[in-house]
Amino acid sequence: MNIKVVAKLLIIILIVSGPSFADKVNIFEFTEIELLELEVRKVRGADNKTEYSVGSNENGNYLKAVADNAASGLGKKVIINLNKTPIINITWKVEKDLAGIKENTKKGHDFAARVFAIKKTGATPLSNRAINYVFSSNSKVGENSPSPYTKKSIDNVLSTTQENLNEWVTVKANVKEDFKRFHNLDVDQLDGLAIMSDTDNSKMKAITYYQNIFFSAD
């Protein structure tokens, strides 16, 4: 397996912290304090780290990601009960996209915005399964494909800059159903969530904003 993908998978594996019983589970606060507490890890082999900063607008706090020939991700210790709150909700915007790359190839496997949902299925991080929810620069909403590096990670397009460049978009996905559809796994619990904006393969620059990432019952 390519060392860059191994590194990416390793940095998005989060430690289980305890069960949640709410009908809505907020994942990130996107505050200065939270950003200081989160560990940002650069993908091995990438020239630079993605730059993350926080801001706010009329809808609350957001995270800004600038990836200039860069790749690093961040996550938060959390566990999600997918029987109670199976729906991931994401509000995001891509200001500068990665038009022209082939995202389903090794040389073009970058996304201006991605949110990983992780399920532990073995003793090592590389045995885990992932759904990679992406804001694509070149594909259509609803398209999906295995990562060109590992079939254990599926790229699933929820938004595209072909329709919504530099516009805020709110999307939803049923994570429990997606693990069954893509991995044939009956998943009751999600073991991790992570954000990453990466351009280390294409050597391009992307600017993205994330806001209001949470899980809900519907």
**Range from 2-11, 33-42, 126-135 that averages highest in pLDDT:** 126-135
pLDDT at 22 over 90: no
Extract the tokens encoding 3: 């060392």
- Range of 17's domain? 3-216
Q: What is the pLDDT of residue 19?
A: 39
CATH code at position 140: 2.60.120.430
Q: What is the pLDDT of residue 17?
A: 37
- Please state the domain count of the chain: 1
Residues in the chain, overall count: 218
pLDDT class of 149 with cuts at 50, 70, 90:
confident
**Buried b / exposed e along 147-172 (16+ C-beta atoms within 10 A):** bbbbebbbbbbbbbbeebeeeebebe
User: What pTM does this model have?
Assistant: 0.87
